[in-house]
Amino acid sequence: MKKILALVMAIMMMVVAAGCGGSDGKSSGSSSAGGEKKITMGFSQIGAESEWRTANTESVKQAAKDAGIELQFSDAQQKQENQIKAIRSFIAQGVDIIAFVPIVETGWDTVLKEAKDAKIPVIVVDRDVKVADDSLYVAKIGTDSVKEGQNVFKWLDEYMKKQNKTPRAGGDQFQVVVLEGTVGSSVAIGRQNGFKDAMAKSEDGKKFNILASQTGEFTRAKGQEVMESFLKSDRDKIDVLFAHNDDMALGAIQAIEAAGLQPGKDITIISIDGVKGIFEAMIKGKANCTVECNPLQGQLLMETAKKVLNGEKVEKLVYVDEGVFPADVAEKTLPERKY
Ligand code: GZL
């Protein structure tokens, strides 16, 4: 009898041990068909301020599905404090990895230290963070905003020469107004610095003057509103609009038409992103060029996440490819555009 009891106890101990799951003590997520534990990613997105952002979100969600990664998605409604709250809740949930688009570049050190202490790797997506300790994130996937700004000036300089343009209000300088992106965001800072840097380095730099520069918050509505104010004070002086994204340029086009001017002709318009809406405007002759900023970063993000969790080495900084699309290629290119 004793022997039978001992045997039953031993079998029960083995059954209990087998049912305890992973050794890391984290809440074991649902396992995929192959039996291995499914990766859970916490993703904090800025919001839905532009066509570009919508494409960025769709790219991340689809790539997570394709990669079999469970995505906990949070929309911060343009507020950094909501992103910090979301990251803290991902830590509390014990996700395997965190990815986020930092709406502004500063203010992340504390919450990223909490993620590091919880041994949860973090991937920065799209925009940059400025932190005292770069080990607080394992990789950054995105675009080179300084290069985008430089590309804007280089194209503009060539275009004004090729078109034999002269300043509308006379004198020897083209008057440029700038619609900036979100204040404090790495991309707005990078694009503005890239533009100014290329202008300062160019022999033609002196031919351009930044007459006014103000944030349009990357939205169409605010871009229209700020352009209205630029036109109110300088309607007959403005030669060029540089908008940090296409959505603000599209809003500004409405303001320029309402002021009785021809966008793309009276005022040369160049912006950044490469969304379908600006291609349609270029085909109508209402905009002159867009510098691409590729939002389709989801697949690269999921591949990088899997490598990180497999303990593989990953590049700290990975840029996605991007081009420059002047109006004369818009009609041919539009059908190929994915966002
Ligand atoms: C750029 C991205 C910017 C886009 C805007 O990398 O962060 O934010 O240019 C978007 O359209 O709102």
For residue 303, report the distance from its CA to the centre of ligand 1, in Å.
Answer: 22
* Residue at 164: amino acid letter: N
For residue 31, report the distance from its CA to the centre of ligand 1, in Å.
Answer: 35
Give the pLDDT mean for 269-286. 98
Integer Cα distance of 245 and 271 in angstroms:
5
**Helix H or strand E segment including 206:** none
Q: Which residues of 60-94 are buried (b: 16+ CB within 10 A; e: fewer)?
A: beebbeebebbbbebbbebebebbbebbbebbeeb
Please state, rounded to an integer, the average pLDDT across all residues of the chain: 92
* 95 φ, ψ (degrees, to nearest 5): -65, 165
The DSSP letter of residue 203 is T
CA angle, 118 then 120 then 53, to 5°:
130
CB proximity list for 313: less than 8 A, separation 6 or greater: 307
The pLDDT assigned to 72 comes to: 98
**Helix H or strand E segment including 213:** strand 208-215
In this structure, the residue with its CA closest to atom 6 of ligand 1 is 126
Give the nearest ligand 1 atom to 219 CA.
12
The pLDDT assigned to 7 comes to: 62
Residue 262 clears pLDDT 80, i.e. is over it: yes
CA distances from 30 to 44, 71, 167, 264, 308 (A): 21, 12, 64, 54, 20
Instruction: Pick the range with the lowest mean pLDDT from 6-15, 152-161, 186-195, 274-283.
Output: 6-15
What are the DSSP calls for 5-43, one per residue? HHHHHHHHHHHHHHTT--TT-SPP--B-TTSSBPPEEEE
Integer Cα distance of 291 and 181 in angstroms:
15
Ligand 1: residues with CB < 6 A are: 49-50, 52-53, 126-127, 143, 187, 218, 245, 247, 272-273, 293
Residue 1's pLDDT band, with cuts at 50, 70 and 90, is low
Q: Secondary structure of the chain: what % helix, strand, coil (to 5)?
A: 45, 20, 35
* Residue at 63: amino acid letter: A
pLDDT in tens, 99-148: 999 999 999 999 999 999 999 999 999 999 999 999 999 999 999 999 99
The pLDDT assigned to 16 comes to: 44
Token code pair at residue 135: 């080990």
Give the pLDDT mean for 156-167. 96
Q: Are 120 and 98 in contact (CB under 8 A)?
A: yes
For residue 212, report the distance from its CA to the centre of ligand 1, in Å.
Answer: 21
Residue 23 clears pLDDT 50, i.e. is over it: no
In this structure, the residue with its CA closest to atom 9 of ligand 1 is 245
Give the pLDDT mean for 19-29. 37
The pLDDT assigned to 226 comes to: 98
* Residue at 136: amino acid letter: L
Give the pLDDT mean for 193-216. 95
Give the pLDDT mean for 22-34. 43
First to last CA, the chain: 74
Give the nearest ligand 1 atom to 143 CA.
6
pLDDT in tens, 60-97: 999 999 999 999 999 999 999 999 999 999 999 999 99
Of 310 and 19, more confident: 310
Give the pLDDT mean for 245-265. 98
The pLDDT assigned to 238 comes to: 98
Q: Compute the residue count for the chain.
A: 339
Integer Cα distance of 39 and 31 in angstroms:
9
The pLDDT assigned to 31 comes to: 55
Looking at the DSSP bridge assignments, the partners of residue 42 are 72, 98
The pLDDT assigned to 27 comes to: 37
